[in-house]
Structure 1
Amino acid sequence: GTDAGSKGTLSKREEGWEALLENLEEVFEGLDTDGSGSIDLSEIQQAARLFRVGLSDIELASLFLEADLDGDGTVDFEEFSLLVREAYSRARDRGPEYELLQGLSAMFESAERRR
C-alpha cells in the first residue's frame, strides 16, 4: 500500500524521469560522443540503438528537427534541455515523447551504475 505520509505518489518511471531532468547536462554529455558541445542526428540514433529506444529513425529525426531550433543541424544543450522538458510535459503512455524519456532514463541509469 502507499504511505499517507509520502509526498505525492511518483511512479518508479516518473522518479526516473525526475532524476533525468535533474541530470540533463550529464545525459547530454553522454550523447555528445565527439565532445563537440552539440549533438547531431547520428549521435542520437547511435544512442537510441544502444538503449533500444522504441522510436523509428523517422520519429527520432522528427524529434531532432523539432529540437534543432536554429536549424544548424545540431542540437546544443539549451535545445536539448527544451526538448526533454517539452517531452516531459507532453508524455502520455507510449508515443514518441514517452519513448524518448524512457530511453534517456535508461541511458542515465546505466551511466550512474558505471560510476
Structure 2
Amino acid sequence: MERADYLPPERLRELATAIDPAIRLEPDAEQVLQDVADDFVENVAAFACQLASHRGSRTLETQDVQLALEKLWDIRLPGIGESSAELRLIQRRPQAHSDAYKQRMQLVRKSQSKV
C-alpha cells in the first residue's frame, strides 16, 4: 500500500529551517518524520471516523477530530469546535519534580552562587 504524503518534503524542510536556518535533514531523517506525520494523520482520522460512527453520524465533525486528538495524543486545541461560551480556561499543570531532580537543582544553584 502506498503511503499518503501529508507532509511534503518541501514543507518539512521549511518547518525545519524556521526552527534553525542552519539545519539540514538527512534523507533518512526526512523519511522518518514524514512517516510519523502520515501515521499521526491516519490514526487521528481513523479514530475520529469511528467516533462519528459511534454517534450514529455519517458526517465527520470538528468535535470528532478534537476528541480523537484529546484521547489519542492529549492534545487540546482551544477554540476549535467550541462556541465562545464553551471555551474554558487552560491552566498550566504544576510540575511534580522528583526528589533527585530537586537535589540536582540545588547543587546547580549552589555552584552558580559560588561563581
TM-score, normalised with respect to structure 1? 0.30
Larger radius of gyration: 2
TM-score, normalised with respect to structure 2? 0.30
